Amino acid sequence: MIRTVNLPCEPAEVYSVLTDPIRLAAWLNVTSATTGIDIFHVFEVVEKKTDPAWQVRGVVVHYETDRQIQVEARETDHAPKGPLTFTIEPEGERAVLQIEWEQRFILPLVERMIDPQSVIRLELISQKLRKGKAFYPDSTCAEHPSPA
């Protein structure tokens, strides 16, 4: 399955949010996220507030900075597994995010990513990043200085 969404930010900003746990959790408005292009290459999104039935865990198996992240995704019981690919293409000063997956358990994550409210949250995060500020998913949506 494939879904595409136009996003009001640059490809590098989308990639930055996909690979940062605080930004990813804020974008998707979820309980927690663990992600990163590091020694562990983990990708995890957990929702306990509104729908504890879904979460996606996986391992980043391939990435191209600012362009693509490929994840081998699993449900919480570690089965079934399947590919989940985020491809980011530039369109002027904006980005087009294409999400491709096979397993049905990934659909709630995809729906959350393309939801209009999520797109608005991503735009706010992007604006704060451009101003050199981090966005934290707390109840006040407070601005905090970005770590240097």
The full length of the chain comes to 148
pLDDT of residue 29: 86
What distance in Å separates the CA atoms of residue 100 and residue 102, rounded to the nearest whole number? Answer: 7
Q: Which of 88, 65, 121 is nearest to 14 (CA)?
A: 88
Give me the residues paired with residue 57 across strands: 44, 74
Q: The tokens of 26 are what?
A: 């804020």
Q: Kindly report the backbone phi and psi dihedral angles of residue 37, in degrees, each rounded to the nearest multiple of 5, phi listed first.
A: -95, 90
What distance in Å separates the CA atoms of residue 41 and residue 112, rounded to the nearest whole number? Answer: 22
Mean pLDDT of 48-62: 76
Mean pLDDT of 22-39: 77
Flag whether pLDDT at 76 surpasses 70: no
Owner of token pair 């409210």? 117
Give me the residues paired with residue 63 across strands: 69
What distance in Å separates the CA atoms of residue 12 and residue 129, rounded to the nearest whole number? Answer: 11
Q: What is the pLDDT of residues 95-143, one digit of tens each?
A: 999 999 998 888 988 999 999 999 999 999 998 888 876 555 543 333 4
Q: What is the residue-averaged pLDDT of the chain? A: 81
pLDDT of residue 110: 93
- The CATH code that applies to domain 2-145 is 3.30.530.20
| Annotated domain spans of the chain | 2-145
What distance in Å separates the CA atoms of residue 93 and residue 98, rounded to the nearest whole number? Answer: 17
